[in-house]
Amino acid sequence: MSISEKWHGLDLTEDQLEMLNLVRDFCAKEVRPKGAQYHLSQETPTAILKKSAQCDFYSSDFFLQLFSDPTGLTAALAIEEMFYSDAGIALALFGTGLPASAIVANGTPKQIEKWLPRCFGTAKDPKVAAFCCSEAEAGSDVSNIRTRAVYDEKSDTWTINGIKHWITNGGISDVYVVVASVDPELKSRGQASFIVTDGTPGLSAGRHLDKHGFRASHTGEVILDNVVVPGDHLLGGKDRLDKRLSRARRNESSGEQAAMATFEATRWMVAAMGVGIARAAFEYARDYAVVREQFGKPIAAHQQVAELLADMATEIHLARLGVINAAQTYLSTGKLDRAQGSMVKYFASELAVKATRNAMQILGGAGYVNEHPVAQWHADALLLPIFEGTSQIQKNVIASVVTGLRIR
């Protein structure tokens, strides 16, 4: 594998380049030009999903290929590129990556082999999947999850009851990864993840939520009313759960929590999304600022505008390096220690908000009207410091690590 080309100043191998060019070409042609249309209509971009599946750009094999590069470069740069093109459509395509990551992080090899392909469907009939953790009373406070899973030893089945809120792809998925409490006294240490498939009696879609940004991505409620699933739908299996629960009951650290394992796997991915949105805003504002003239010179030549652009370029570059570093650590070791995932998620999410806000400012009045995309991108960016753990929660995690105190 010879080193053949640079992306953002980074050397890439031929394999990495091939994957990334596929992503870049597809997104430039099929995603960026359609962003505004889907943002306005708030429709799920099913036609783009189907096309991406036909182009081998949406499948479990593609997902595994992205995440099998231990340098982290392929996954980090591919996610950046998708969200650079249009965040709403990108999440409609990449939303399945979150439950898929939950299956990989929590499932047995047999479960991964069985459920991962089903999350994505086939090239002819692509499907999406959802990760269902949040509830009306359990957003930041995941330990407060009320959805309950009860085991029946005789039939080796679990019965699940609860209502999940704000779920990406909730109500339109083929596979749902549902986080439920199996022992409410143990709070987050008494939770487990289950596979529930579309069509299971008792599983239904609640409200489809009308959103400020990321409007091409479907967000809805998921209702589980006496949903019965076979024992082998418990991710990780019953033996592993029993061992984890007994450690928790003895008050020993188990090191494994169903939702936390997923968040550890996905926080750096949200950071990569932030880098993509920030870069889109930066490039758009830069290209505008070198052409638009006021007071007889390009606005980019006015020092205050130039400074905004210089700050954006610097922070995007450093955020990208942080994401790649986190991706490399996670994909080569399966872990992110020292709050590394929280740090990059927090930094890149806030950067996306700041960069899109400053891009609007650089465009002036043009930035505020929908003929230009930067106001939409700002609306999109505002989600990043909220989902997959708010910025405040990330700071609690980081502060706990750096002080050794329990900060909540």
Ligand X SMILES: Cc1cc2nc3c(=O)[nH]c(=O)nc-3n(C[C@H](O)[C@H](O)[C@H](O)COP(=O)(O)OP(=O)(O)OC[C@H]3O[C@@H](n4cnc5c(N)ncnc54)[C@H](O)[C@@H]3O)c2cc1C
Binding site for ligand X (CB under 6 A): 131-134, 139-140, 166-168, 211, 214, 219, 383, 386-390, 392-393, 396, 408
Q: What angle do CA 237, 243, 248 make, to 5 degrees?
A: 125
Contacts of 203 (CB under 8 A, 6+ apart): 176, 196, 222, 223, 224, 225, 227
Distance CA 253, CA 228 (A): 30
**Contact call for residues 285 and 309 (beta carbons, < 8 A):** yes
Alpha-carbon distance 247 to 203, whole Å? 32
Shortest separation between residue 262's beta carbon and ligand X, angstroms: 9
Among residues 24 and 218, whose Cβ is nearest to ligand X? 218
Please tell me which residue in 81, 135, 315, 388 is annotated as part of the active site.
Answer: 388
135 as an active site residue: the answer is no
Nearest distance, CB of residue 408 and ligand X, angstroms: 5
Q: Give the phi and the psi of residue 326 in degrees, each rounded to 5.
A: -65, -40
| Paired sense of beta strands 129-132 and 175-181, if any | parallel
Q: State the Cα–Cα distance between residues 145 and 163, nearest whole angstrom.
A: 10
In three-state form (DSSP H/G/I as H, E/B as E, the rest C), the secondary structure along 229-267 is EEHHHECCCHHHHHHHHHHHHCCCCCCCCHHHHHHHHHH
Task: Specify the residue, 340 or 396, whose C-beta has the smaller distance to ligand X.
Answer: 396
- CA 3 to chain CA mean position, Å: 29
Torsion angle of the four alpha carbons 227, 228, 229, 234, in this order, in degrees rounded to the nearest 10: 80
- In whole angstroms, how close is the CB of 234 to ligand X at the nearest point? 18
Nearer of residues 280 and 383 to ligand X, judged by Cβ: 383
CB of 215 to ligand X, least distance (A): 9
Smaller CB separation from ligand X, 52 or 96:
96
Using the minimum distance from each CB to ligand X, give the nearer residue, 94 or 288: 94
Q: Which is nearer to ligand X, 17 or 272 (CB)?
A: 272
State the CB neighbour count (10 A cutoff) for residue 348.
Answer: 32
Active-site residue list: 388
